[in-house]
Amino acid sequence: MARGRAPGFENQREEILAAAARLFAHHGYAGTSMNAVAEACEVSKPTLYHYVKDKQELLGQICETHVQGLARLVDEVKAQQLAPEAHLRALIARFVQSYGEAQNQHRVLTEDVKFLGEADQERLLLIERQVVGAFADAVAALRPELQAAKLHKPLTMLLFGMINWTFTWLKPDGDLSYEDMAPMVADLFFGGLGAVQAQPAAAPSKVVRKPRKSLQAS
């Protein structure tokens, strides 16, 4: 008969993932040892290995827990059945807040995912694509003509550029909080969204370059 998990297992696991994410974010995945993780968690190495089999699995759990959390945010907002603009504003607010609370996890996801195996990377990428797709659908719900022009996804990536970049410069103890920033990001995006034309710009004409002469040619 398999042994059940001890009470508090999930709480201890979450503490381990949070401590490891902090170390990976500040020292890099390659620069962090399992000894350092155990010390940060104030547990023995045997106890640490009770939760993960190795450092790569630890990295995978950090990344997967983070992207699964983002996917849950999408589902929670969708369940509110808001009008299109309110729906997208709610998504932006929840994601800006989430990134503010999970800066270490997000940095690990963006910088250290390359250390995972191909199968693990593909699984994470699939979840990320679903999240981005939900945002793109929200943009298309506001401006259906942008979807027809195949502009809703590029606009979504521009939006994520704002959200993703914020956590790299906004100080947690600064004048502005993530709660302050969320409506600013939404207002900036909505203000620009109305100016976007449904017809994509014409492709630039192809420039024919002449072969460059050698400096030694006569």
Report if residue 101 sits inside a domain. Answer: yes
pTM for the structure as a whole: 0.82
Q: How far is CA 109 from CA 24, 67, 91, 116, 204, in A?
A: 10, 9, 20, 10, 36
Q: How far is CA 177 from CA 41, 90, 121, 169, in A?
A: 28, 17, 32, 12
Helix axes 55-79, 118-142, angle to 10 degrees: 20
Which of 22, 41, 104, 32 has its CA nearest to residue 50? 41
Report if residue 47 sits inside a domain. Answer: no
Amino acid at 113: V
Q: How far is CA 39 from CA 16, 32, 44, 69, in A?
A: 10, 11, 7, 27
Report if residue 200 sits inside a domain. Answer: no
Give the pLDDT confidence score for residue 2 in this predicted structure: 39
Report if residue 87 sits inside a domain. Answer: yes
Alpha-carbon span 62 to 137, nearest angstrom:
27
Report if residue 19 sits inside a domain. Answer: no
Give the pLDDT confidence score for residue 165 in this predicted structure: 83
Report if residue 32 sits inside a domain. Answer: no
Give the pLDDT confidence score for residue 217 in this predicted structure: 39
Enclosing domain of residue 145: 56-193
Report if residue 102 sits inside a domain. Answer: yes
Report if residue 27 sits inside a domain. Answer: no
Which of 191, 192, 170 has its CA nearest to residue 97? 170
How crowded is the C-beta side of 179, counted as CA atoms within 13 Å? 1
Q: Are 181 and 76 in contact (CB under 8 A)?
A: no
Q: Are 141 and 87 in contact (CB under 8 A)?
A: yes
Structural domains in the chain (count) = 1
Give the pLDDT confidence score for residue 59 in this predicted structure: 97
Report the chain (218 residues): mean pLDDT per 10 consecutive residues.
Answer: 57 93 96 96 92 96 96 97 97 92 92 95 96 97 93 94 82 80 91 82 52 38
- CATH number, domain containing residue 127: 1.10.357.10
